[in-house]
């Protein structure tokens, strides 16, 4: 009787076409993969930036100590500028003494009235002196901890010499020693104190190179490196009135 009408209960959503369901699943799958990839990248970044790189830098710093906070020049006892620092060794006191002996260098005596007279006597008589004294220079508020010299011929007027100071830095628990190597050209009077002293060659790089050539020849250096730009002041005058110049590099050797 009359036309039949559909009720809301009779309404049904039209089913998705079969091809639309895989497409939706595919989009959801791509979104999950992108989310996982993003989370993986974030996690990798955090691990590298906050764990791995700091550990690598810590290890690098331990094996490649920075010398930026070290002084660049020694001082004389009366506060005048001394010789520039140009060498460093990593090792124990006994290790340094051992390698220096193997390299043909001898411990130098401390200066004093008696040693001053001995320098003058040996110079006049042209007598060699393997333990000819070196004048005291100061770093970190104290005189050198170790000093070595290498004679040249039979006359103490000329010789190679180096002073070392122990720093508070270490590499694998071995202390770092920083030093100043220079070549004595002649004996004379200090321009500032009038005391008997040696006057150095201005080419301090040549003495740095000579020392490390001797050390490398022993076979007792585990490794060595060069720190470029250690000195920004490339010329100067020491307390004895001697002019010096450098290319600014610091040579660093690690003893076996």
Angle subtended by helix axes 204-218 and 93-102, to nearest 10: 90
Helix ranges restricted to H, the chain: 20-47, 53-63, 93-102, 113-125, 204-218
Question: Within 10 Å of residue 89's Cβ, how many Cβ atoms?
Answer: 27
Q: Which parts of the chain register pLDDT below 70?
A: 1-26, 49-50, 53-54, 56-69, 110-133, 155-156, 187-198
Q: What is the pLDDT of residue 93?
A: 97
Q: What is the pLDDT of residue 57?
A: 56
Q: What is the pLDDT of residue 162?
A: 96
Q: What is the pLDDT of residue 77?
A: 79
Q: What is the pLDDT of residue 153?
A: 77
Contacts for 78 with CB less than 8 Å, ≥ 6 apart: 192, 193, 239
Residues forming a β-bridge with 146: 164
Q: What is the pLDDT of residue 1?
A: 47
CB-CB contact of 146 with 137 (8 Å): no
Q: Kindly report the pTM of this predicted structure.
A: 0.69
Half-sphere exposure of 75 (CA within 13 A, CB side): 10
User: What is the token pair recorded at 111?
Assistant: 């200066």
166-203 core/surface letters (b: 16 or more CB in 10 A; e: else): bbebebeeebbbbbbbbbbbebeebeeeeebbbbbbbe
- CA–CA distances in Å: residue 217 to residues 30, 52, 110, 150: 64, 38, 28, 15
Contacts for 77 with CB less than 8 Å, ≥ 6 apart: 136, 138, 143
Dump pLDDT digits (tens) for 203-219. Answer: 999 999 999 999 999 99
Q: Which residue is it, tokens 């690598």? A: 56
CA 155 to chain centre: 35
* Cα–Cα distance measured from residue 196 to residue 157, given in angstroms and rounded to the nearest whole number: 11
């Amino acid at each position: 009787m009359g036309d039949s009408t559909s009720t809301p209960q009779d309404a049904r959503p039209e089913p998705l076409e079969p091809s639309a369901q895989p497409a939706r699943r595919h989009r959801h799958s791509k979104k999950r993969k992108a989310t996982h990839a993003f989370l993986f990248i974030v996690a990798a970044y955090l691990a590298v930036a906050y764990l791995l790189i700091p550990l690598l830098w810590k290890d690098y710093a331990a094996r490649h100590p920075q010398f930026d906070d070290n002084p660049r020049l020694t001082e004389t006892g009366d506060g005048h500028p001394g010789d520039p620092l140009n060498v460093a060794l990593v090792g124990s006191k006994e290790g340094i003494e051992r390698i220096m002996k193997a390299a043909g260098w001898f411990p130098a005596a401390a200066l004093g009235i008696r040693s001053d007279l001995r320098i003058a006597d040996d110079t006049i008589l042209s007598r060699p002196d393997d333990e000819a004294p070196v004048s005291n220079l100061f770093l970190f508020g104290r005189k050198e901890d170790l000093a070595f010299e290498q004679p040249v011929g039979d006359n103490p007027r000329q010789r190679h010499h180096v002073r070392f100071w122990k720093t508070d830095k270490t590499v694998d628990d071995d202390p770092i020693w920083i030093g100043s190597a220079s070549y004595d050209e002649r004996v004379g009077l200090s321009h500032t104190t009038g005391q008997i002293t040696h006057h150095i060659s201005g080419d301090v790089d040549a003495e740095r190179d000579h020392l490390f050539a001797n050390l490398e020849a022993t076979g007792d250096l585990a490794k060595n490196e060069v720190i470029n730009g250690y000195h920004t002041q490339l010329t100067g005058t020491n307390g004895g009135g001697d002019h010096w110049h450098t290319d600014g590099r610091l040579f660093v050797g690690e003893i076996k």
